[in-house]
A and B are shown apart, each in its own frame.
Chain A
Amino acid sequence: MAREDGYLSGKESRRISKENRKITAALEKKRKRKNVPESEYLTEMKNPENTVEFENLRTYFYTDAGTVKSVDSVSFSVPMGKTVGVVGESGCGKSVTSLSLMQLLQRPQGQIVDGAIRLNTGDKVYDITKTPETVMQHLRGNFMSMIFQEPMTSLNPVFKIGDQVDEVLLFHKSGYETKEAAKKRTIELLEMVGIANSEGVYNMYPHELSGGMRQRIVIAMALACSPKLIIADEPTTALDVTIQAQILDLLRGLKDKINSSIMLITHDLGVIAEMADYVVVMYSGRVVEAGTAKEIFSNPSHPYTIGLMASKPVVGKHVDKLYSIPGKVPNPINMPNYCYFRDRCDKRKGCCDGAYPGEISLSETHRVSCYLYDEEARK
């Protein structure tokens, strides 16, 4: 496998890419079958109160430098009508988790290799990992939709705003089949997301709008078919604080209006505290801690969560020196077989050299993957 410093010989690299092609070709072949019977991808929810359940999801990227385990055995669920916040640093797999759910992974390198994602659409339950592409097109937009991070790049610069939102409505056969009905609905949607001059904006191009306005358009597109689940991938990272406050306020209001769930992906703990009911903390492709927002913020338990909270300066709380987590994230290609956080952890013990720690429940909703709370292992 790859050497310590990350450099590979040409021979080694060719061997890896040959192996990768074999694996991905097999997976792609399975995926591209025609006429897959419904029985293969319809399942039952574990808890019918949930909109989405992730169970042991593994998403790998087969790169020429080795296999990157972007999402490695992730399990959590999004309850109906609630907001779940996913926090973590860049590269921890939070975006890949959401892309797996939408089946928008960069294929053929990116593949879901194991696990299940169950989506509850009301009458049917789909296992996304096995759903064929043709059915996915029906699910995307209608039952779940995504708000992307960069409002500058997620709109097409050569089409008018109105045409882009209309397209969503016409494509998904949402009851607005004619051009006139779609236009009427689009203007309604634009008003709903707080655009004052909605008729004017309908005929504008994306470059004529500011960042905050563009993000509103993206939100309007995501909400067009009243989805059950909205995935917001860093919706406010590219925006100013004042605009961020407007957008968060808007999302909160709209969630209640159409009664859907939100999966909010961000690295800003402040945004999470404000929006989320449940919080999932990810590190290097794994969930290290999960619980209700109150539990995570009042009683952070994993050393990584504690470090993350301490390293963010808070207005009104003066400290001389910020806490900083030493070291850096391990190389995603050669993940160690012990706890991924061990080398950066200031609370490590002898038992941390063992296998990756299992999940320990601190309360009914609060679970953490750390030997600190494992009484047996500490003995």
Chain B
Amino acid sequence: MENSILKDTEAKTVRENEDNILEVRGLKKYFPIRGGFFNTVVGQVKAIDGVSFSIKRGSTMGLVGESGCGKTTTGRTILRLSGEKTAGDVLFNGKEVYNIPKSELNELRTKMQIIFQDPFSSLSPRLPVGEIIGEAVKEHHLVPKEEYEDYIDRIMDNCGLQPFHKGRYPHEFSGGQRQRICIARALALNPEFVVCDEPVSALDVSIQAQIINLLKDLQEKYKLTYLFISHDLSVVEHIADTVGVMYLGNLVEFGNTEDIFANPLHPYTKALFSAIPIPDPEAKMNRIILEGSIPSPANPPEGCKFHTRCSQCMEICKSKVPEEKDMGNGHKVCCHLYDDGAVKS
């Protein structure tokens, strides 16, 4: 960026790899807690506390974790939807998202889109479907006026909607079809990168499969890149190429889907995977049941944030924050168990 304010960010805005559409480095997002007599800031919710990853063009990254671990905030912060970030870099196509001037932000918005979790509350009940999908197309002047109707029809057809649905209102559709409308709305702008924030968790099993297949088909057709946020691990394994596991605002493990599912390293990932119910009554269960629930992000534990629930907790975990270790093939983990000098038990 020529007109970036900070000089040191200028130095950092160099992409590691030309293939990466998105690079996130040390991203932090804190929300203030206000209270007291003068409504002063009394604390901070550390929703994201230093997250780094990168996504290759045309691939899908899955982001998994329990509710409240900061998955959704990560997605929204990347899109610059939740105000200013606290620290870190978000590089989209090599440009820092947060340094783009307002005039260029409009253009960026067409390149990055989001599909929300709940198709029942993310569509305006007062607009017909054709307008919901076309509103942004008009706003950004993407197609000439005479081609507009055809363009909307084509987008709807790609997402499995009929042209006569255009005049109907969202309440006339079922959950699966509403999610198709949300997908059509995101795709109408011809984006390169789409954040899918739990797109299937509100849907039935058979509809879930239809939407997942649709997302995969569209990815092939338009060479899309997805950040797929979900708490359903089986869905993530199916759709994602790389997976990041989040716990309390930190990425504890990151790697290729095959590596992570075949060989989970972090104790949290292991517990999370063992909690997935297997649809086979004779499958042997070797379950690690995590005690308690996720600690408050306003007052996270010292040292490794997971040490309060970890079955392999050591002395060092209580005081020192673990650093990221590369275990080969891009499989990264943040855990003291894999320190060089660590005593393996």
Contact = CB atoms under 8 A, between A and B. Distances in A.
Nearest to B309: A242
A282 B219 CA distance: 34
Given A270-B276, A324-B210, A241 B231 contact: yes
Interface stretch (A124-132, A222-230, A303-311): A303-311
Contact of B67 (A240, A245, A276, A297): A240
Contact of A212 (B231, B280, B293): B293
A328 interface: yes
Contact of B234 (A249, A297, A313): A313
A271 interface: yes
Contact of B281 (A294, A315, A323): A294
30 contacts: A90-B175, A212-B293, A240-B231, A241-B276, A244-B277, A245-B289, A245-B290, A246-B289, A249-B287, A267-B205, A270-B277, A273-B277, A273-B280, A274-B281, A274-B285, A308-B205, A309-B279, A312-B205, A312-B279, A313-B209, A313-B234, A313-B237, A315-B234, A315-B237, A315-B276, A316-B261, A321-B213, A322-B238, A324-B206, A325-B209
Contacts, number: 120
Interface of A: 89-90, 210-213, 240-246, 248-249, 267-274, 276, 293-294, 297, 307-309, 311-316, 318-319, 321-325, 328
B238 A319 contact: yes
B216 interface: yes
B132 interface: no
B176 A315 contact: no
Given A242-B275, A324-B213, A293 B231 contact: no
Interface string B261-297: 1000000000111111111111101010110010000
Nearest to A237: B201
Interface of B: 66-67, 174-176, 204-210, 212-213, 216, 231, 233-235, 237-238, 261, 271-283, 285, 287, 289-290, 293
B272 A241 contact: yes
Contact of A245 (B209, B210, B287): B287
B236 to A, nearest CB: 9
A307 B234 CA distance: 17
Nearest to A344: B206
A319 B239 CA distance: 10
Contact of A89 (B66, B204, B293): B204
Given A243-B293, A312-B234, A273 B281 contact: yes
B289 A273 contact: no
Contact of B293 (A210, A293, A307): A210
Contacts of B289: 242, 245-246, 249
Contacts of B205: 89, 267-269, 308, 311-312
Given A246-B289, A267-B205, A319-B238, A328 B213 contact: no
Contacts of B283: 273
